[in-house]
């Protein structure tokens, strides 16, 4: 069964607005990672949050993790047209042996 | 200076053919992976090698055979291609350990006609 499920599946906003994407998962994890995929390209790692962390920042990105609810959110502040991409969460399950399981992704469109 | 490179970028072939995809990483990572991304962008792991040894082998038809000649290379050979094999195949690499992010290649779009 799929580990990570993302919400919403698609999000369309205007430049300058904030974008929030959510991810839910089912089992205990070592860490949760967020990746971006531009059209026709490979995934690019954005940020990793460990299971004992609650919040992490990197530039305009803010990630939260709630292990009691088995959920995470990715916030992109002051969005730009260049942020248009698919965003995936990926979980490293405790019992998986360093196997990342990806969600279905959120397609973010930032309109100029 | 591409970190993870895979070839070819596009592969169009007929059912029943055999094809290979090559992957190389210059990051010095010990672990390499093959992922399959379907038309709905769902990404699923197929194989993982650590220092040339197979460590993850998901439920993948045995028509798919990975081969790692050294820790910098992981190739994927597919026999008797089927229509359902059409997808984008991604190679990735990482350092050993739980908190190691993956570095992906740009994918090979396989179309079986």
Quick one: pLDDT at residue B111? Answer: 98
CA distances from B108 to B6, B8, B38, B102 (A): 7, 6, 12, 17
Contact assessment for residue B90 and residue B107, using Cβ atoms and an 8 Å cutoff: yes
A16-45 residue pLDDT tens = 999 999 999 998 998 999 999 999 999 999
A104 chain-B contacts, CB cut-off 8 A: 40-42
Query: Which of B7, B34, B102, B106 would you mutate first to test chain A, the one with the most A CBs within 10 A?
Result: B102
Q: pLDDT per residue over A63-94, tens digit each?
A: 999 999 999 999 999 999 999 999 999 998 77
Residues 6+ apart with CB under 8 A from B104: A42, A43, A44, B4, B35, B90, B91, B92
Least confident window among A10-14, A57-61, A90-94, B13-17: A90-94
- Minimal CA separation from B43 to chain A, in Å: 6
**Distance between A88 CA and the closest CA of chain B, angstroms:** 9
Beta-carbon contacts of B4 under 8 Å, excluding residues fewer than 6 positions away, are: A42, B23, B24, B25, B27, B91, B92, B93, B103, B104, B105
- Nearest-CA distance from B3 to chain A in Å? 12
pLDDT at residue A4 greater than cutoff 70:
no
User: Chain B partners of A37 at a C-beta cutoff of 8 Å?
Assistant: 41
- The rounded percent of chain A whose pLDDT value lies above 90 is 77
Q: What pLDDT is attached to residue B54?
A: 86
Per-residue pLDDT tens over the stretch B73-91: 999 999 999 999 999 999 9
Residue A2 has pLDDT above 50, yes or no: no
**Contact status of B46 with chain A (Cβ, < 8 Å):** no
The total of other beta-carbon atoms located within 10 Å of residue A3's CB is 22
Distance CA A111, CA B51 (A): 44
Whole-angstrom CA distances from B1 to A46, B9, B80 are 20, 17, 34
């Amino acid at each position: 069964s799929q580990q990570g499920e993302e919400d919403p599946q698609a999000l369309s906003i205007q430049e300058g607005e904030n974008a929030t994407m959510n991810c839910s998962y089912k089992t205990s994890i070592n860490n949760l990672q967020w990746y971006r995929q531009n059209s026709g390209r490979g995934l690019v790692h954005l940020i990793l949050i460990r299971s004992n962390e609650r919040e992490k920042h990197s530039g305009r990105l803010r990630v939260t993790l709630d292990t009691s609810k088995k959920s995470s959110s990715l916030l992109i502040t002051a969005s730009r047209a260049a942020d248009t991409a698919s965003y995936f969460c990926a979980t490293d399950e405790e019992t998986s042996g360093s196997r990342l399981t990806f969600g279905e992704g959120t397609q973010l469109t930032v309109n100029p | 200076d591409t970190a993870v490179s895979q070839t070819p970028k596009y592969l169009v072939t007929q059912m029943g053919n055999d094809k290979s995809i090559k992957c190389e990483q210059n990051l010095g990572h010990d672990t390499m992976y093959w992922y399959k991304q379907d038309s709905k962008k769902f990404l699923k792991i197929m194989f993982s090698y650590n220092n040339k040894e197979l460590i993850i082998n998901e439920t993948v038809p045995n028509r798919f055979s990975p081969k790692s000649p050294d820790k910098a290379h992981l190739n994927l050979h597919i026999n008797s291609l089927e229509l359902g094999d059409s997808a984008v195949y991604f190679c990735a690499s990482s350092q050993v350990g739980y908190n190691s992010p993956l570095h992906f290649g740009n994918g090979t779009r396989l179309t079986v006609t």
